[in-house]
């Protein structure tokens, strides 16, 4: 294992200290329990939008804390769900009197721990709602989930709902919007190599030099099948076709196309893949109105990519375009 770390047992805390220094104007980082909070929290009369999950997927979630997106994020240990006390602390630190919306990726530990935290916060008189995102079309169940996994669509969900909350939309409205996005977003990914969890010291799985895992999860969970590596003109359709068939998407649909790197994939390759995806969508009469390209929900140093499609309407376009200022996404401010 070759990593720029000291002790695997303290890697998350060490990284959070660096993050706090790098983004002191945007973030306030608490260490026990670990919570990343926007610097101006709590914002009075604003719904607090909170998410979190295991570390190792950076910039998700802490990199999306700030104006126009998340009010707080709860970083668990690498590939491990945050604890209920972390989520409860996030709710308490961001409570502006308008309630909190928890955005939860569909992994068993995340769902259970966020649910417990919501109950604890409710006992203190804070109104909390939860939504679970399950946008991965690759598999119905995995090692970590009952049902589909939450993957790349999480980034889009956090941006759209964060923009609505920033505008003063109430808790009912934010929850309804979140459920709308969840119903209209689909994703699928592939891996060329595995990531290595620091405390494990070895790759999570092994692929032959000529193999890739199609439908991989963000923790290295198995996908649909292992297949020979091919050219990008074969890889991109292998991801895009299952997405298009699932919702389904069709001619005339307006979409946001998110081409995501899994941590070890150069932008050179991501832009190449994105161009292929745009061409294939255009051939079907699907209109790409908004785009996002880059490593925004990763799996340590995994080489691979995922595609996400969100079906758009005027409301979602306006909220996507709304100003955002976080460590990882910034525009309009």
User: Which residues are known to be catalytic?
Assistant: 57, 219
What is the secondary structure of 150-195 as a DSSP string?
Answer: P-THHHHHHHHHHHHHHTT--HHHHHHHHHHHHHHEEEEEEESS--
Which backbone phi and psi does 313 adopt, to 5 degrees? Answer: -140, 180
Which backbone phi and psi does 10 adopt, to 5 degrees? Answer: -115, 15
| Residues 131 and 179: beta-carbon distance below 8 Å | yes
Work out the number of other CB atoms within 10 angstroms of the CB of residue 270. Answer: 18
Q: Return the closest-CA partner of residue 36 out of 66, 9, 8.
A: 66
Q: Give the Cα separation of 254 and 286 in Å (integer).
A: 6
| Residues 223 and 273: beta-carbon distance below 8 Å | no
Q: Give the Cα separation of 32 and 20 in Å (integer).
A: 14
| Residues 100 and 74: beta-carbon distance below 8 Å | no
| Residues 138 and 242: beta-carbon distance below 8 Å | yes
Which backbone phi and psi does 25 adopt, to 5 degrees? Answer: -75, -20
Q: Residue 242 has which token pair?
A: 């299952």
Instruction: Find tokens 């706090």 and name the residue.
Output: 20
């Amino acid at each position: 294992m070759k990593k720029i770390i000291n002790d695997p047992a303290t890697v998350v805390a060490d990284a959070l200290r660096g993050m706090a220094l790098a983004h002191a104007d945007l973030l306030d980082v608490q260490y026990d329990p670990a919570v990343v909070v926007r610097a101006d929290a709590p914002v009075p009369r604003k719904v607090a939008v909170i998410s979190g999950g295991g570390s190792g997927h950076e910039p998700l979630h802490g990199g999306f804390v700030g104006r126009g997106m998340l009010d707080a994020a709860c970083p668990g240990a690498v590939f491990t769900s945050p604890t209920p006390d972390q989520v409860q602390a996030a709710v308490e630190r961001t409570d502006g009197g308008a309630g909190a919306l928890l955005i939860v990726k569909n992994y068993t530990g995340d769902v259970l721990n966020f649910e417990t935290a919501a109950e604890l916060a409710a006992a203190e008189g804070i109104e909390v709602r939860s939504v679970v995102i399950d946008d991965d079309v690759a598999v119905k169940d995995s090692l970590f989930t009952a049902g589909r996994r939450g993957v790349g669509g999480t980034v889009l969900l956090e941006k759209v709902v964060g923009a609505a909350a920033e505008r003063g939309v109430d808790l009912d409205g934010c929850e309804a919007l979140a459920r709308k996005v969840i119903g209209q977003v689909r994703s699928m990914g592939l891996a060329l190599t595995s990531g290595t969890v620091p405390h494990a010291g070895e790759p999570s799985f092994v692929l032959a030099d000529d193999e890739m895992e199609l439908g991989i999860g963000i923790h290295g969970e198995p996908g649909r099948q292992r297949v020979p590596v091919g050219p990008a003109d074969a890889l991109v359709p292998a991801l895009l076709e299952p997405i298009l068939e699932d919702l389904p998407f069709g001619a005339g649909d307006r979409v946001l196309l998110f081409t995501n790197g899994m941590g070890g994939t150069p932008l050179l390759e991501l832009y190449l893949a994105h161009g292929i995806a745009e061409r294939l969508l255009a051939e079907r009469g699907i209109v790409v109105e908004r785009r996002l390209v880059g490593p925004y929900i990763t799996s340590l140093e995994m080489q691979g990519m995922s595609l996400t499609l969100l079906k758009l309407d005027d409301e979602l376009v306006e909220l996507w375009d709304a100003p955002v200022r976080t460590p990882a996404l910034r525009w309009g401010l």
